[in-house]
Amino acid sequence: MIKAENVVKIFTGRGVPVRAVDGVSTHVEKGEVVVVIGPSGSGKSTFLRCINGLENFDDGHIYIDGVDLAHRKTDMNKVRAEVGMVFQQFNLFPHKTVLDNVTLAQQVVRKRPRKEAATKARGLLAKVGIAEKEGEYPSRLSGGQQQRVAIARALAMDPKIMLFDEPTSALDPEMVGEVLDVMKQLAREGMTMCVVTHEMGFAREVADRVLFMDEGKMVEEGTPEHFFTAPREDRTKLFLSQVL
Amino acid sequence: MAGALKPPPRRLPWMLLLAVILIGLAAGTWGAVKKIDYTWRWNRVPQYFVYKGEDAIKIPFDGRVTDITEKNSKLVVQLRSEDDERVAVKVDKGFINVSQGEDLFQGDTIGFINQWRMGPLMVGLWTTMWLSAVASVLALVLGLLTGLCRVSNNLTLRGLATIYVEFIRGTPLLVQIFIAYFFIGTVFDLNRNVAGVGALGIFAGAYVAEIVRAGIQSIPRGQMEAARSLGMNVIQAMRYIILPQAFKRILPPLAGQFISLIKDSSLVSVIAITDLTKSGREIITSTFATFEVWLTVAAMYLVVTSLMSQLVFYMERRFAVSD
């Protein structure tokens, strides 16, 4: 589904080039839930953003369903329409109601008629448990509710893959659970997911595979059991001892 | 601790102070004006807003008055030419110069019609308003396009937009109006109204562009990223996500710009467009009521700009629903 080969992303801040993603190769199969963990600044978010082209990468290849993102003629808009993304800061559209947030891209990008888009949106809002808020503006919602709307908004495009960029990091602790529950449900339904998170509980419970990144490199990858019980690398052991 | 809360500020003493200062200023001005030799003639001003004009009604041919009847408090005069051509004209009662059966030559005055007409001040105000309105639309279109170019990734577009904005903001409007009329107007054979409106619109457009650019850049990056991540292209994201939000934010500075434009439009009087300012100058040449006319003109500008401010204030409140 996703195949990354030797992806390199270099930021040049203050004249010093930083290899934010440094030769990462991995793959995500259809229906698989992959969780990427690692310390801050390890390049995991940047790598995720490379997957849907929000960042251009400097070297390597990323294939989504066989389409090479690095190829000059690839239509990134088409790729992004198939790849859902959920952001740390929700990024709901503040000037649109909850319902319009979920219908807008369906109408504009998928060219669905308003009625069909609204029906789909209502179904998804019910699924994430906030059907009663469809007429509200995002500013009236709690963080957890906003993030669930953001998930519904991404799902409305019928994505083949869902990317989550630290979806619970900006939430108050009591709201983390409601968002994770929605994500768990998605995973059970067989959605292909790639999740950057600091929620080790989620990783252990839901992930099919865990990737550990540090300093732009893929340090270790394996099943949650392997990862949380018998990590191989010293760097992984150190990280886990700090977060668990 | 009790008493830590500040007591609510007392308003009355400060309002009294404000009133005293304003009355003092007015009295001071009044006293100063008293000392100079100036005869105020406010009674001369109203006729320059509206006046009753007399139109002479003339016969278009050689002929005879066949009949005079009264209808709706006007007199209807039937005329017949020597070739049996018939015409009916209306004149006001008491302003008729002919009687039934009278023979007339072409161009003789049959009578007069009195009606209210717009005086030069109102005509000038109207000119100022339509000039500003057309220039505002031009400025908005130019400013929006230029603002978008300013945030574009394309170096050519960005360069063109920057040169436009810098050139316009770095030169005085008065000079731009002269260039638009005497240079560009001569080369491309433009009339003074086109040159005037064009100069104003292009001038304000540069400022609108900066406002638009600032507005777009004030929208968090995440909004564009969220829109793009849903598969929208840049144009769709701008149109549905960024610009609607930016517009709400730039409404106050944009309104300020358009109010400035109304005021700046007074400069087109230098290329002999009879706007409110030029009308004022023309009235002064015939009345010498300098003080009265300029105060009146200022008040008229103030009314227009205040109405604009109120309108924008109302729009801002309407847009605030999603906050």
Interface predicted TM-score (ipTM): 0.91
- pLDDT (mean) for B95-103: 83
The closest alpha carbon to A121, from A92, A155, A147, A89, belongs to A155
Share of chain B above pLDDT 70, in %: 98
B227-256 pLDDT tens trace: 999 999 999 999 999 999 999 889 889 989
B245/A91 CB distance under 8 A: no
How do strand A209-214 and strand A33-37 relate by DSSP bridges? parallel
Asked if B122 and B46 touch (Cβ cutoff 8 Å), the reply is no
Output the DSSP codes for B58-109. E-SSSEEEEEEEEETTEEEEEEEETT--EEEEEEETT-B---TT-EE-TT-E
A-chain residues near B240 (CB < 8 A) = 104, 108
Residue of A nearest to B239 (CA): A108
The answer to whether the pTM exceeds 0.90 is no
In three-state secondary structure terms, A25 is strand
Which secondary structure element, helix H or strand E, spans residue A3, and what is its range?
Answer: strand A2-13
Residues of B in contact with A78 (CB under 8 A): 231
CB-CB contact of B304 with B266 (8 Å): no
Average per-residue pLDDT in chain A? 91
DSSP letter assigned to residue A158:
-
Query: Does the pLDDT value for residue A222 go beyond 80?
Result: yes
> Contact A91/B233, CB-based, under 8 Å?
no
pLDDT value, residue A94? 93
Q: Provide the chain A residues 58-97 that lie in CB contact (below 8 A) with chain B.
A: 77-78, 80-85, 87, 89, 91-96
A114 Cβ under 8 Å from any chain B Cβ:
no
Residue A114 has phi, psi (to 5 degrees) of -50, -45
- Residue contact B230–A105, C-beta within 8 A: yes
The residues near A124 (Cβ < 8 Å, ≥ 6 apart) are: A102, A152, A155, A156
* Set of chain B residues whose Cβ sits within 8 Å of the Cβ of A81: 230-231
Mutation for B interface: A91, A92, A169, most B CBs within 10 A? A91
pLDDT at residue B288, as a whole number: 85
Distance, in Å, from the CA atom of A45 to the CA atom of B74, rounded to the nearest integer, reads 86
The stretch A207-228 carries a mean pLDDT of 90
Q: Do A77 and B245 touch (CB under 8 A)?
A: no
* Preferred mutation among B218, B221, B225, B230 to probe A, highest tally of A CBs within 10 A: B230
Structure tokens at A243: 């977060």
The residue of chain A with its CA nearest to that of B240 is A104
pLDDT score of B302 = 95
Q: pLDDT value at position B27?
A: 95
Touching A: B residues 222-241, CB under 8 Å: 222-223, 225-233, 236, 240-241
Among A116, A174, A117, A105, residue whose Cα is nearest residue A145: A174
Picking from B142-146, B158-162, B309-313, which range would have the lowest pLDDT averaged per residue?
B309-313
Lowest-confidence segment of A129-138, A230-239, B65-74 by average pLDDT = B65-74
pLDDT band with cut points at 50, 70 and 90 for residue B114 = confident
Looking at beta carbons, which residues of chain A come within 8 Å of B241?
93
Q: Is A111 on the interface with B (CB under 8 A)?
A: no
Q: Do A139 and B323 touch (CB under 8 A)?
A: yes
pLDDT digits (tens, 9 = 90+) for A178-203: 999 999 999 999 999 999 998 888 99
pLDDT in tens, B15-39: 999 999 999 999 999 999 889 888 8
Instruction: Report d(CA B305, CA B287) in Å as an integer.
Output: 27
**B241 closest CB neighbour out of A83, A93, A110:** A93
**8 Å CB contact of A94 and B230:** no
Q: Check if B218 contacts A (Cβ < 8 Å).
A: no
DSSP letter (8 states) at residue B179:
I
Q: Which of B222, B231, B245 sits opposite A87 (nearest CB)?
A: B222
Pick among A45, A92, A106, A108 to test the B interface (most B CBs inside 10 A) = A108
The predicted structure's pLDDT at residue B2: 56
Report the residue from B228, B233, B245 with minimal CB separation from A95. B245
- Those residues whose C-beta lies under 8 Å from the C-beta of residue B319, and which sit 6 or more positions away, are B248, B251
